[in-house]
């Protein structure tokens, strides 16, 4: 069913389609897309439209309303480039993240959760599909065409990928993506599929995707005019472009997400929501009043605290809603480890782009008070090893949604672990392949090509199985004391499994690029 309702605010016309959210705005004088309209006007228009409930038709779905009303809602907050130790509930003493800390105090904090790549795009593919991103030829961040070809990776995620959002959409869920995408539609890739082609009813993104998007203006002390940060996105078309202060872009994504949630709530429709801020990725531009000495760490902590405050709006709304509090799952984690010189993964070794623990282990907070026993709320899970690919089958189970026909997930169903009913870990090992362009990165040189986590063991090696290093993470979480020589059978077994997995995945150009002088 297609639906359109229009209204006018001053000299701007707003409209919604599919009766859920504002996806375009037109300058009434010029009859052209507005490129410099602050998003609050758009959101206020959305609030007005949401008040006109009698004029908006209910979302069209193939599932009877009574069948989906009681299914849990899901909000996935996927932070960008944050370290394992950056939440104050994970030990940060330099900054405070009270809103996320409150989720942890009412839910579960997981200490051995992993993402499936140490860099942006493949990590997002994994959490969206439940499969290793290498299956879809995305093993590093998506860039321009020449760069992608040089590295042997795709220009965008194939729309045939088994998206969690699409499965939930087909089961009657309202689905929305607000924030960074970075699975196609960046740099000079103008012909990538729109986000809505992956199972999302509505979307607003940044410069790493197509469709309606908010692009940042970087304000700095002493500079009268802001600097645009768009990496060519404003030239790609496919949706209105709105410029906004970089310090408050997450706030705009959150406002849009809250409007989306309110509409789904008003329709008694379960929802799945991606809220994926660009924070705390560089460049760091907190509110001007929080710049302090302007050092990298200072700016990072200011952005982190501001992000927590901005995300707190949706956390508070859900917590205070009688309809939503006891029927919503909120998950908060990072897409990979921190950038060198900004975030912290201490005591873990490594940073973003490395397969070391600090590059791929993420703090995870799960909040679902209506689905968790009271005795486990506020607890910490120190033991369960699982990862982003496990979230997809787990959330399908929690929502009572069938998996796509003919799809085999690399992830495992750990719904009971996620909700605190069990401390089970993955049965199968977790395998990792470095980004093809990250043999050397920042101050790191000759990084390992492959890694595997199995039980207490973490093993690293190169593509040919050489240069093995084995660590017992139960005794050495900082990976300071290799035990390779003392465990030859473990090394042999894990190396064989890792090389077999690597050979089963589509190749990229890591072997060629790794030989080039840096």
Inform me whether the pLDDT recorded for 184 exceeds 60: yes
Residue 337 confidence (pLDDT)? 97
Checking if the pLDDT of 48 tops 70, the result is no
Q: How many CB atoms lie within 10 A of CB 462?
A: 18
DSSP state at residue 211: S
DSSP state of 29: T
217 and 111 co-located in one domain: yes
pLDDT at position 69 is 54
17 plus 97 within the same structural domain: no
In this prediction, residue 480 has a pLDDT band, given cuts at 50, 70 and 90, of very high
Report d(CA 165, CA 173) in Å as an integer. 9
Task: Answer yes or no: is 63 within a domain.
Answer: no
- pLDDT at 54 exceeding the cut of 60: no
Bridge partners of 273, per DSSP, are 75, 176
- The verdict on residue 317 lying in a domain is yes
In a domain, residue 419? The reply is no
* 377 within domain boundaries: yes
Q: For residue 440, what is the domain's CATH number?
A: 3.30.1120.10
Residue numbers of the domain that contains 488: 432-513
Please report the pLDDT score of residue 233 as a whole number. 86
Do 116 and 18 fall within a single domain? Answer: no
Same-domain check for residues 82 and 140: yes
pLDDT, residue 231, reads 85
Q: Which residue has the tokens 């782009």?
A: 353
Clarify whether residues 109 and 133 are in a common domain: yes
| 439 neighbors 510 (Cβ within 8 angstroms) | yes
Query: By CB neighbour count within 10 A (0-12 exposed, 13-18 middle, 19+ buried), where does 2 fall?
Result: exposed
Pairing of strands 202-204, 174-179: parallel
pLDDT at 32: 31
Q: Write down the pLDDT at residue 518.
A: 52
Task: Indicate whether 62 belongs to any domain.
Answer: no
In-domain check, residue 276: yes
Structure tokens at 364: 């995870």
Q: Which of 112-116, 218-222, 230-234 shows the lowest per-residue confidence on average (mean pLDDT)? A: 230-234
- Burial class, 175, CB count within 10 angstroms (exposed 0-12 / middle 13-18 / buried 19+): buried
**Residues 142, 183: Cα–Cα separation, whole Å:** 7
pLDDT tens digits, one per residue of 372-388: 999 999 999 999 999 99
Please say whether the beta carbons of 216 and 245 come within 8 A. Answer: yes
Do 51 and 75 reside in the same domain of the chain? no
Query: Are residues 264 and 25 in contact, defined by beta-carbon separation less than 8 angstroms?
Result: no
Asked if the peptide bond before residue 280 counts as cis, ω within 30 degrees of 0, the response is: yes
Whether residues 32 and 89 share a domain: the answer is no
pLDDT confidence tier of residue 49, bands split at 50, 70 and 90: very low
pLDDT tier at 238, thresholds 50, 70, 90: confident
Mean model confidence pLDDT for the chain: 88
pLDDT at 412 over 50: yes
> On the CB side of 477, how many CA atoms lie within 13 Å of its CA?
12
Structure letter (DSSP) for residue 466: -
State the pLDDT confidence band at 224, using cuts at 50, 70 and 90: confident
List Cβ neighbours of 205 (8 Å cut-off, separation of 6 or more).
Answer: 177, 178, 179, 180, 181, 185, 195, 211, 212, 213, 214
For residue 186, is it left (φ>0), alpha (ψ between -120 and 50) or beta? beta
Mean pLDDT of 426-431: 98
302 is a domain residue: yes
Q: Is residue 489 part of a domain?
A: yes
pLDDT digits (tens, 9 = 90+) for 286-296: 999 999 999 99
Instruction: Tell whether 481 and 393 lie within a shared domain.
Output: no
pLDDT one-digit tens code per residue, 483-515: 999 999 999 999 999 999 999 999 999 999 998
If asked whether residues 89 and 227 sit together in one domain, one would say: yes
Residue 398: burial class (beta carbons within 10 Å; 0-12, 13-18, 19+): buried
Pair (344, 491) in one structural domain: no
Looking at the structure of the chain, the number of domains it has is: 3
Same domain, 241 and 307: yes
pLDDT digits (tens, 9 = 90+) for 87-146: 999 999 999 999 999 999 999 999 999 999 999 999 999 999 999 999 999 999 999 999
Average pLDDT over residues 432-457: 96
Work out the average pLDDT over 394-416: 97
Average pLDDT over residues 300-326: 97
Show Cβ contacts of residue 212 under 8 Å, excluding neighbours closer than 6 positions: 22, 23, 24, 203, 204, 205, 239, 240, 242
User: Do 244 and 384 sit in the same domain of this protein?
Assistant: yes
């Amino acid at each position: 069913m297609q639906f359109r309702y229009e209204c006018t605010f001053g000299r701007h016309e707003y409209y919604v389609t599919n009766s859920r959210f504002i996806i375009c705005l037109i300058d009434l004088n010029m009859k052209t897309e507005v490129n410099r309209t602050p998003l609050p006007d758009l959101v206020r228009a959305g609030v007005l439209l949401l008040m006109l409930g009698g004029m908006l038709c209910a979302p069209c779905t193939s599932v009877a309303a009574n069948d989906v009303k009681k299914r849990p809602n899901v909000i996935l907050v996927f932070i960008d480039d944050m370290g394992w130790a950056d939440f104050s509930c994970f030990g940060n003493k330099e900054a405070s993240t009270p809103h996320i800390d409150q989720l942890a105090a009412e839910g579960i904090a997981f200490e051995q959760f992993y993402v499936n790549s140490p860099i942006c795009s493949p990590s997002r593919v994994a959490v969206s599909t439940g499969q290793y991103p290498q299956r879809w030829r995305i093993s590093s961040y998506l860039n321009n065409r020449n760069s992608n070809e040089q590295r042997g990776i795709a220009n965008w995620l194939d729309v045939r990928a088994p998206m969690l959002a699409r499965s939930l959409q087909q089961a009657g869920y309202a689905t929305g993506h607000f924030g960074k995408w970075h699975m196609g539609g960046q740099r000079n890739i103008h012909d990538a599929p729109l986000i809505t082609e992956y199972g999302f009813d509505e979307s607003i993104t940044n410069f790493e995707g197509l469709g309606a998007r908010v692009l940042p203006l970087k304000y700095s002390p002493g500079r009268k005019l802001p600097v645009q940060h768009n990496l060519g996105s404003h030239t790609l078309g496919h949706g209105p472009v709105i410029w906004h202060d970089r310090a408050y872009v997450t706030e705009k994504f959150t406002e849009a997400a809250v409007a989306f949630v309110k509409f789904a709530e008003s329709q008694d429709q379960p929802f799945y929501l991606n809220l994926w801020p660009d924070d705390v990725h560089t460049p760091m531009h907190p509110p001007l009043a929080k710049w302090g000495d302007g050092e990298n760490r200072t700016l990072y902590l200011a952005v982190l605290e501001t992000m927590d405050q901005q995300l707190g709006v949706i956390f508070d709304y859900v917590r205070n809603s009688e309809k939503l509090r006891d029927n919503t799952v909120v998950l908060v984690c990072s897409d990979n480890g921190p950038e060198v010189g900004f975030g912290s993964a201490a005591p873990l070794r490594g940073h973003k782009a490395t397969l070391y623990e600090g590059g791929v282990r993420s703090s995870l907070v799960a909040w679902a008070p209506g689905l968790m026993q009271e005795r486990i709320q506020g607890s910490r899970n120190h033991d369960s090893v699982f990862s982003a690919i496990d979230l997809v089958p787990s959330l399908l189970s929690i929502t009572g949604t069938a998996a796509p026909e003919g799809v085999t997930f690399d992830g495992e169903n750990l719904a009971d672990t996620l909700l605190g009913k069990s401390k089970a870990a993955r049965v199968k090992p977790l395998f990792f392949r470095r980004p093809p362009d990250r043999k050397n990165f920042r101050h790191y040189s000759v990084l390992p090509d492959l890694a595997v986590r199995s039980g207490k063991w973490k093993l690293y090696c190169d593509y040919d199985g050489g240069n093995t290093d084995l660590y017992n993470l139960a005794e050495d979480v900082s990976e300071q004391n290799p035990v390779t020589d003392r465990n030859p059978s473990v090394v042999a077994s894990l190396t064989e499994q890792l090389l077999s997995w690597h050979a089963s995945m589509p190749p990229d150009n890591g072997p060629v690029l790794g030989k080039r002088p840096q």
